Amino acid sequence: MSITNPHKIDTAKLDSILESYGSKKSNLIAILQKVQEEYRYLPEDALIYIGTKIEGLSPATVFGVATFYAQFSLDPKGKYEIKVCDGTACHVRGSMPVLNAIKSYLKLKDGQMTTDDGLFSLETVSCLGACGLAPVCVINEKVYPQMTSDAIKVILETLLNGER
Ligand code: FES
């Protein structure tokens, strides 16, 4: 297997992560966590690279491990990771209008998870265990209770202004 697009990843950065964990097979999870911390997701080329650099592993094994654990994402994430709860309580109390308001504000097309500038990514999640606060959104671990379409737009606008 070859590296399909080496320009997408910084092999020097990956080498230094690999070295810091002794390039050991037993440290694969920790290595993947560190790579995800760097890129905010696990780029395909990084997984292939790691699979060719660690003795006793193959790119296919590294892919298998990365896709097995829910903590790893193979899709690019934005700087701001927005999660909209669509569990029953949140759904009943209006999570879909909030989700649609986010999609429209961020101009996300159908099926598009991350904005073109890489700032925001959006996903729906099941019950976050805070049903009393429904509908709930989480942005980078911060919980936003009782969301409305208008409130979420203000929050997004504030985050965007902070980037300008
Ligand atoms: S359904 Fe959304 S927090 Fe429980």
Distance 47 CA to ligand 1 centre (A): 34
Mutate which of 84, 128, 137, 138 to test ligand 1's pocket (most atoms within 8 Å of Cβ)?
128
The domains of the chain are located at 6-68, 80-162
**128 CA: nearest ligand 1 atom:** 3
pLDDT tens by residue, 102-146: 999 999 998 888 999 999 999 999 999 999 999 999 999 999 999
3-state secondary structure the chain: CCCCCHHHCCHHHHHHHHHHCCCCHHHHHHHHHHHHHHHCCCCHHHHHHHHHHCCCCCHHHHHHHHHHCCCCCCCCCCCEEEEEECCHHHHHCCHHHHHHHHHHHCCCCCCCCECCCCCEEEEEECCCCCHHHCCCEEECCEEECCCCHHHHHHHHHHHHHHCC
Tell me the pTM: 0.73
Residue 158 CB partners (closer than 8 Å, separation 6+): none
Is the confidence at residue 154, as pLDDT, over 70? Answer: yes
Pocket of ligand 1 (CB under 6 A): 85, 87-90, 127-131, 134, 136
Cβ-based neighbour number of residue 118 at 10 Å:
13
Give the distance (Å) from ligand 1 centre to CA of residue 107: 25
Cβ-based neighbour number of residue 50 at 10 Å:
26
At the top level of CATH, the class of 6-68 is mainly alpha
pLDDT surpassing 50 at residue 74: yes
* Alpha carbon distance 47, 3 (integer Å): 10
Instruction: Band the pLDDT of 30: cuts 50, 70, 90.
Output: very high
CB atoms within 10 A of CB 83: 19
Spatial CA neighbour of 143 closest among 122, 135, 78, 158: 135
Quick one: pLDDT band at residue 77, thresholds 50, 70, 90? confident
What's the fold here for domain 80-162? Glutaredoxin (3.40.30)
- Residue 139 has phi, psi (to 5 degrees) of -125, 115
Which atom of ligand 1 sits closest to the CA of residue 88? 1
Give residue-wise pLDDT tens across range 50-63: 999 999 999 999 99
